[in-house]
Structures are given as structure tokens and as C-alpha cells.
Chains A and B, each alone.
Chain A
Amino acid sequence: MLKTLLYRDWLNIKKHAISLFLVLTMFPMLLHLFISIPLSNVISLDIRYLNWAAPGIWITSSGVLAFCIAILRMKKIKYDSGQLDAFLKTPLANSDIIVSVVITATILGFIQVLISIGLTILLNNEYLGFKQILFILFQVLPLINFFAILGNLIGIFVKHGIALISMILFIFLVLTLSIGSFLPLVHFPVNYVDLVSKFPLTMIINNCQIIIQNNVSSYIGPFLTYLINIFLILITIVVSHKLFRK
């Protein structure tokens, strides 16, 4: 069943392959052009700013993309096209629908991070070894998964376009401005830094910044994110049982 739903998503992705490819390449390039380059003239760090901000581009682009894909797909299933009723009259379980959306969004987010890494390597003329890239992917994957699950859960509730845009904007602002992805946390108030540095999201960004400097990173962030993901997906399944069948 799950395989068929994923195949359905693949059929849809194939139809929009060109526009999707444009989004996947333009999004990280725009982040680089409009955030990293201007800020590199303002912020001075021990390492080159453009290299330091690259994890911000990877995580923002992949996180926002996974979130968008999941929230749009779930909103469409639940509210826009009567697809939920169409699915519910088949032997599908609610969890199949939810997991398929999460997997599709995570895969696309993962492709986005690979493209983002490739682009930042090219644009910054930096070198990342195979092992470093593997460590980075290990850190980023649970985060992409988190945003896919979060988008899925919020998509069940978000009926109106304006609410959807607000959510996407909120996630984008959080990822770009508040967790040390483009603006170093040293510029924020100490109390805020104390609080935000305990978030797995901040830990992961920090870990990626450590990895590109060839230092050893911690794995607490990804581990905690996986735990949160399991918890969130269980909540989503419970919510679906309350809301899918009237």
C-alpha cells in the first residue's frame, strides 16, 4: 500500500520534474546570493563567513522544502481535492497516508541538501571530503525528517492558504534568523543563546559548522531529533484517527 502511494507521488513528481529541479537549484542559490553574500560583508568570524554560513543554506533550503512539500500535500489530501475520502475507501491505513507524505517530503529534502552542498562547494570554492559529507548528511537527515513530519501534522489542520503561507514564512524566519544559521549566536542576548543552544535544531547547525572545520561533532542533536520525530509521528497518527474519519 505504502509502495503504491509512493509510486503515486513519483508519478506526480515526474510531471513536474523541470519546475522542481529549478526550485531545488534556485532556492540555495538565492539564499547564497541574498543572505550569505551581503552578510559576509558585515559579519567577521575566525573562518571565512561564506564557508561558515554554508550549513545554514543546506539546512534552510532542505528544511523549508521538506516542510512545504509535506504541508502542501497533506493540505491537498485533507481539504482541497476530496482525495482523503478517495484514499479512505481503499484498504489503506491512516498511517500509510501519513508515512508516504513524510517519506516523499524527506526524500525531496534530502535531494535538496545534496544539491545545496554541491552548489555551496562550487560557489565558495571549498573542499569537503566524502567522510565530512557523510557526517553532514547524518546530522541533517533527521532534521529534514523533522520538518517533513511537522509539515504533515500542521497540514492536517491548515485549511486556508493564508495560514499555510504564515506557517511557511515562520519556519523560514526561524531557520534563517534565529538559530545561528546565518547570524552567529554571539550577536544575540545571552539568555536567548542559553535557551536556543539546547534545541536539537541549533545543535545540528552548530555540528555542521564544526564538521566543515574538520573538528569532531556531537551526535546528541540528531539523536534527540530522531526521538522527537518518533513522538511527532505518533501524535500525527493519533490526530489522523480523530480527524480523518468523521
Chain B
Amino acid sequence: MEASITLKAIGKTFRDKILLADLSFGVEKGSTFVILGENGSGKSVVLKLLVGLIEKDVGMAYIHGKDISTRGHEIRSITGYMPQSIDLDDELTILENLEIFGRLHSLSPSDAHANALNWAEQLSFENNLKRMPGDLSYGNKRLVQFARALVHDPEVIILDEPTKGLDPHSRSKVWDILDKLHQHKTILFASQNFAEAERYADRIAILHNGNIKMDGTLERLIETTHGLTRYRLSFSNPPTDDFMEKLKAFPRILRPQVKGVELEFYSRERKQFFNALELALKEDIVDIDTSICRLQDLFVGLTDGGLE
């Protein structure tokens, strides 16, 4: 498939802090790509760089084959970006905000008006059109920002934590819209919501310290865990130090962690689990929970010292 967004060896520092380091990835046209990362991992920096809000120090970045450094003007006209922070014009009404942004993307006044009304209707904020941004709740402002990113019908949609601060009803509306759009648009979003990433993204990248630790489809990412399973044992009292020392002595028990009266660890081998269970039965065990490693486990493993 044709590449819509391509980043090659991007580097960015700000005040001696490395924000992005040798970052490379590509997003295919008509696909949904998510960047997962902890706070400060550089997710927003990547998105801002693509829409031209910040400039890269080194590397190349293209959207629809156009270099963002030299053809930023053209790129911004085909890109819709929703930032994480609220940046609505507080001197204009919601309708005026949407219309002005449509017009700034070369829509005619009548098209900008029609599109603004259309998105307001789809996202159910028609009643807020005449109100000022300051009169709206955070979630409603985020909905307006989402509409503003789409008002000019962009080919590439870049969203920074699109459902942050939204109620479940609004969140599902946003995803319904993105689901419809993703057939013929490229969608790139940053998130910390693993369930949404698993549900909606065609490809997932895990960003850590300004670099992609791993990327691919959900299935491929899960495959890389080679059947890693998470085990959670609950006790009536917190497990003893003696028990923990014995558990840590098992070679293939990974990341054993005690959280209150719960013990969590990972392993690929059932036998190791049975050994641990045998030990646990001598303690005051009350419950067992096992689950195949999901994206969140993989993410925690990759960004917090690894699972090996």
C-alpha cells in the first residue's frame, strides 16, 4: 500500500533535552495508526512536528510524498489536527470558530458554514453553536476541537488523545465517526488508552524516550510475547518475604510484583506457574487469575525495563 506519512531518522532536542531520537516509521494511506507512550515520551512532539508546529533538527518527514520542511503550506491544507490542549479562539462563538478554520483551509464561506453545521449535528453540539468557548465544559470544548480538525474534510487526520476528557457517549460518537472516515482517510492518533488502541488501530507503535520501541499490527505485537501469560494470585495476607525470595529463585518467573495482598508475575511456561502455585498454597491463597498478555502488558514491559 502507498505510504501516507513517512518519518525517517527524525531527531529533535529542546533545551538540551532529547525529545525524539532517530525516529522512523510509516503510516499507510487509508489506515489508522496509533502511537502509544507514557507522559513525556514524545507522542505530542511527533504530531506537532507533522503539522508544522515545531521543527525537526534532523531527518526527513513526508506526508503524501511532500516534504514537511519545504511544502508545509500544502501539507497543512490537507491535514486536520486536534491538539491535546484547548486552543479555541475565545473571542469567537463556536460556530465562528469552526467557520473561520474552514475558511482558513480555503473553504468558501457557505461550505465552511455548512460543514460546521454538519459536524455540530453529528457530534450533537448544535445547541452550543452560538455560545462562547469559555461557556463550555472541557469535554464539549474537546468535541468542538475534534469537529474543527475535520471541518475542511482533510485527507490526513492527526489527533492527540482524541477522547481525553470525553464522556463515554461522546467517546463512542468520536470513534463512530473515525470508523466511517478511516476507509478513505489516513488517521494518526496518540493515546494512552490501550482498549481504544486495540479496538480501532490497524497498526500500533510504542514510543519510549523519543524512539519507537516496537510497531506493527496488534496481532504481531502480541505474537512477540511468545505466549507470555500474566498471573495474579490473591492472598488473605500479603505474601511473606521468604515466599517472595523462593519465587524469585525460579528462573522463568518474570517481574514478580506484590501489590497489597496481590502478587502479579509473568511467565511463558505453565510449569513455572505450577511451581509458584505450589509455593503459594502454603501461604494463604484465596484466588487465581490468569490472562494472556495484552497490549498494556507489552507496553509496561517495553517501557519499564522489559519483561525478560
Partners in one complex: yes
Chain A positions near chain B (C-beta within 8 angstroms):
1, 4-5, 7-8, 11-12, 15, 81-83, 85-93, 245-246
Q: A85 CA to B76 CA in the complex, in Å?
A: 12
Q: Would you call B87 and A11 a contact (CB within 8 A)?
A: no
- Indicate whether A81 sits within 8 Å of B89 (C-beta atoms), given known contacts A4-B103, A7-B103, A8-B100: yes
Whether A88 and B53, one on each chain, are in contact in the complex, defined by CB atoms closer than 8 angstroms, is: yes
Q: Total contacts A to B, CB within 8 angstroms? A: 66
User: What 7 pairs between A and B have smallest CB-CB spacing?
Assistant: A82-B87, A90-B104, A4-B103, A86-B87, A91-B77, A89-B51, A12-B91
CA distance A83 to B91 in the complex (A): 11
Q: How many residues of chain B get a CB closer than 8 Å to chain A's CBs? A: 28
16 of the cross-chain contacts (CB-CB < 8 Å) are A7-B100, A11-B100, A12-B91, A81-B87, A82-B85, A82-B86, A86-B88, A89-B81, A90-B101, A90-B105, A91-B74, A91-B76, A92-B104, A245-B52, A245-B53, A246-B14
Alpha-carbon gap, A246 to B81, bound state (A) = 17
The answer to whether the Cβ of B8 comes within 8 Å of any Cβ in the partner chain is: no
Q: Knowing A12-B91, A83-B87, A246-B14 are in contact, say whether A89-B52 is a contact too (CB < 8 A).
A: yes
A85 close to B83 (CB less than 8 A): yes
Interface core residue of B86, B90, B91, B106 (most chain A CB under 10 Å): B91
Q: Specify which of A5, A11, A82, A91 is in contact with B105 (CB 8 Å cutoff).
A: A91
Q: Are B54 and A245 in contact (CB under 8 A)?
A: yes
A85 to B149, CA, bound (A): 13
On chain B, the residues within 8 Å of A86 by CB distance are 87-89, 101
CB distance from A57 to the nearest CB of B (A): 30
Is B73's CB under 8 angstroms from A93's CB?
yes
Please tell me if the beta carbons of B103 and A246 are within 8 angstroms of each other in the complex: no
**Residue B79 at the A interface, CB < 8 A?**
yes
Q: Does B55 contact A (CB under 8 A)?
A: yes
User: How far does the alpha carbon of A134 sit from the alpha carbon of B246 in the complex, in Å?
Assistant: 96
